[in-house]
């Protein structure tokens, strides 16, 4: 699913209005009806107090139109216009008139006013600012926002939490509504997914207001949200007359004394995701352990007992995953650098491999095209240098990806795979996955997909999705705390099966139709 900028959304509005031969207030009416139906289906007429805080633009207009629907259905409402500007939008004014015709006069709030009392069992509709926010709210509006935030009432934000910009950080957290739930129109917003701005949103959901589908489809965006519909077409079915050679030969290089487990996790993940053959190149000390723990793997060892000191092999791998558990001893740095200089086989670089590259950026020009880099935040900072904020981080990652033709997997709550001008934001995963070895598993999974013939970009996007889905399945069986990387590996097969599981309603419908 595409993630649009505010300009693109405004352009989609204009196009839709023209093509569907409608007036702009029809879109506002669709938006408010959708929100009303969402609320009504949950509240079923309950007489809980609903406070609607409405700005003077179209976000406020949505709130005012919603107030009309709520009133017509007998809900107990309080409507407040947050009068932060004299420049009211046309459709806000139209809906304000419609409300007044029904003898409902909102209370106008300004810097002089006392704010309404809000009970902890009340519901607040936040329609102060939408995607049109372009400067910091005035102090009194920020004070109102804090008043709302401190109420403990349930906060439902219209389109985006008020005070949150589409493409930059708020200057202070006091300026932003902390939404329990956001009902966003047509497409999610980038700010929902970044660590610094996602904290203002507990949950979000989309409402379809009928913007022109073809226009949205044709609009090129800088970000995409990756869910099941996006990854299903990437899946490559296994063929009846295939053999293990069809699924490639992965080489995993890494490990050091005390960190052989990293290679074991990556190697096992590589096989569980469907890789054909696996060879591990590790220091001598891990030989028995790895052969025992992972009998499916072939193991070759360096001369050095404890460290990778030489990367040479006689096999012809399809793909190489390198760096996990390798350490930063100078013999390993030397061996890794010499390997990168001569290697031209597709590559996934993780952990210490990334750290070595950061210290010696000249190596970057030797990476094969579309090498997949899987940094965690600290490793990313070593690669890219410091960034100002999460938006800047993504821009820097895009420039880096273009400069070196590499794919960067920015690991986080919503892992983002960046390739050139586009960031692919993952939808699966959970906080339980912040656990030792989780990154080794991911690197192994991506390696195993490339080995089977997936293009590196698809392998990164699909691998990240399946990794998160495995984590979600582990949580549903074990809870968050007990997620371990071994369990993640053990759930990769179930994650594939989950991909093809249809929702229960769909299955029931079929049974009834039969």
Ligand X SMILES: NC(=O)C1=CN([C@@H]2O[C@H](COP(=O)(O)OP(=O)(O)OC[C@H]3O[C@@H](n4cnc5c(N)ncnc54)[C@H](OP(=O)(O)O)[C@@H]3O)[C@@H](O)[C@H]2O)[C@H](O)CC1
**Contacting residues toward K ion, per CB under 5 A:** 126, 157-158, 162
Which CB atom, from 34 or from 401, has the smaller least distance to ligand X? 34
CB of 77 to K ion, least distance (A): 17
Residue 57 as a binder of ligand X (CB under 6 A): the answer is yes
Q: Which does 267 bind (CB under 5 to 8 A by kind): K ion, ligand X, none?
A: none
Residue from 123, 158, 356, 441 in contact with ligand X (CB under 6 A): 158
Segment interacting with ligand X, rule: CB under 6 A, options 60-68, 112-120, 313-321, 477-485: 60-68
Which CB atom, from 162 or from 355, has the smaller least distance to K ion? 162
Of 360, 452, 342, 364, residue with least CA distance to 408: 364
Residue 169 as a binder of ligand X (CB under 6 A): the answer is no
Which CB atom, from 122 or from 126, has the smaller least distance to ligand X? 126
Pairwise CA distance, residues 494 & 431, whole Å:
20
Residue from 211, 231, 269, 380 in contact with ligand X (CB under 6 A): 211
Which CB atom, from 75 or from 200, has the smaller least distance to K ion? 200
CB of 5 to ligand X, least distance (A): 12
Strands 319-322 and 298-301: unpaired
Can you tell me which residue has the tokens 């698809």? 458
Residue from 62, 212, 272, 352 in contact with ligand X (CB under 6 A): 62
Pairwise CA distance, residues 403 & 436, whole Å:
32
Residue 156 as a binder of ligand X (CB under 6 A): the answer is no
Q: Which residues contact 423 (CB under 8 A, 6 or more apart)?
A: 222, 223, 224, 394, 397, 398, 416, 417
Q: Could you tell me which residues are beta bridge partners of residue 348?
A: 321, 372
Q: Which does 157 bind (CB under 5 to 8 A by kind): ligand X, K ion, none?
A: K ion
Residue from 136, 171, 202, 366 in contact with ligand X (CB under 6 A): 136
Contact 128, 156 (CB under 8 A): no
429: left (phi over 0), alpha (psi -120 to 50) or beta: left
CB of 187 to ligand X, least distance (A): 8
Distances (CA, A) of 498 to 224, 394, 476, 504: 22, 30, 13, 12
Which 230-289 positions form the footprint of ligand X (CB under 6 A)? none
Q: Which does 437 bind (CB under 5 to 8 A by kind): ligand X, K ion, none?
A: none
Which 63-92 positions form the footprint of ligand X (CB under 6 A)? 84-85, 87, 89
Of 115, 97, 119, residue with least CA distance to 107: 115
Pairwise CA distance, residues 201 & 467, whole Å:
24
Residue 137 as a binder of ligand X (CB under 6 A): the answer is yes
Contact 3, 189 (CB under 8 A): yes
Sign of CA pseudo-dihedral 111, 112, 118, 124: negative
Contact 89, 82 (CB under 8 A): no
Which CB atom, from 35 or from 372, has the smaller least distance to ligand X? 35
Can you tell me which residue has the tokens 């956001």? 182
Q: What are the structure tokens assigned to 307, written together?
A: 């460290």
Residue from 58, 83, 428, 452 in contact with ligand X (CB under 6 A): 58
**Binding-site residue positions for AMP:** 411-415, 439
Rule CB under 6 A: which residues touch ligand X?
A: 9, 13, 27-28, 31, 55, 57-62, 84-85, 87, 89, 129-137, 158-159, 185-186, 211
Feature table: binding site: 58-62, 126, 130-136, 159, 162, 262, 325, 376, 411-415, 439-440
Binding residues for (6S)-NADPHX: 58-62, 130-136, 159, 262, 325, 376, 440
């Amino acid at each position: 699913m595409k993630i649009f900028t505010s300009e693109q959304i405004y352009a989609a509005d204009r196009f839709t209005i023209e093509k569907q031969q409608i007036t702009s207030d029809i879109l506002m009416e669709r938006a408010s009806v959708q929100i009303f139906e969402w609320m009504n289906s949950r509240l079923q007429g309950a007489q809980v107090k609903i406070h609607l805080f409405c700005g003077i633009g179209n976000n406020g207009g949505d709130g005012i139109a919603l107030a009309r629907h709520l009133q017509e259905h007998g809900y107990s409402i309080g409507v407040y216009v947050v009068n932060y500007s004299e420049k009211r939008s046309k459709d806000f004014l139209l809906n304000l008139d419609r409300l007044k015709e029904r003898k409902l006069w909102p209370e106008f709030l300004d810097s002089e006013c006392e704010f309404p009392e809000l009970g902890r069992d009340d519901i607040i509709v936040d329609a102060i600012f939408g995607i049109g926010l372009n400067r910091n709210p005035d102090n009194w509006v920020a004070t109102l926002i804090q008043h709302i935030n401190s109420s403990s009432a349930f906060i439902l934000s219209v389109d985006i939490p008020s005070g949150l910009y589409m493409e930059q950080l708020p200057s202070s957290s006091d300026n932003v509504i902390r939404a329990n739930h956001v009902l966003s129109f047509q497409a999610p917003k980038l700010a929902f997914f970044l660590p610094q701005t996602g904290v203002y949103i507990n949950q979000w959901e989309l409402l379809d207001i009928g913007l022109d589908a073809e226009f949205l489809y044709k609009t090129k965006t800088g970000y995409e949200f990756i869910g099941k519909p996006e990854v299903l077409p990437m899946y490559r079915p296994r063929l009846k007359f295939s053999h293990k050679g069809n699924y490639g030969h992965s080489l995993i290089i890494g490990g050091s004394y005390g960190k052989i487990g990293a290679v074991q996790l990556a190697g096992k993940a590589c096989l569980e995701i469907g890789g054909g053959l696996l060879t591990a190149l590790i220091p001598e000390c891990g030989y028995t352990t790895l052969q025992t723990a992972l009998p499916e793997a072939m193991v070759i060892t360096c001369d050095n007992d404890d460290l990778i000191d030489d990367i040479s092999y006689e096999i012809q791998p399809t793909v190489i995953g390198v760096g996990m558990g390798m350490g930063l001893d100078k013999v390993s740095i030397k061996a890794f650098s010499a390997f990168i200089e001569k290697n031209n086989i597709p590559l996934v670089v993780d952990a210490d491999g990334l750290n070595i590259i950061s210290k010696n950026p000249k190596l970057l020009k030797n990476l094969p095209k579309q090498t997949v880099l899987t940094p965690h935040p600290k490793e990313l900072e070593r690669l890219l240098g410091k960034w100002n904020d999460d938006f800047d981080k993504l821009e820097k990652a895009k420039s880096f990806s273009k400069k070196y033709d590499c794919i960067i997997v920015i690991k986080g709550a919503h892992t983002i795979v960046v390739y050139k001008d586009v960031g692919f934001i993952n939808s699966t995963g959970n906080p339980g996955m912040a656990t030792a070895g989780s990154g080794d598993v991911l690197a192994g999974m991506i390696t195993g997909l490339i080995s089977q013939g997936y293009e590196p970009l698809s392998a990164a996007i699909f691998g990240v999705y399946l990794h998160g889905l495995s984590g979600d399945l582990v949580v549903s069986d074990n809870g968050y705390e007990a997620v371990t990387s071994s369990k993640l590996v053990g759930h990769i097969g179930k994650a594939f099966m989950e991909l093809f599981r249809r929702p229960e309603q769909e299955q029931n419908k079929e049974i009834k139709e039969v």
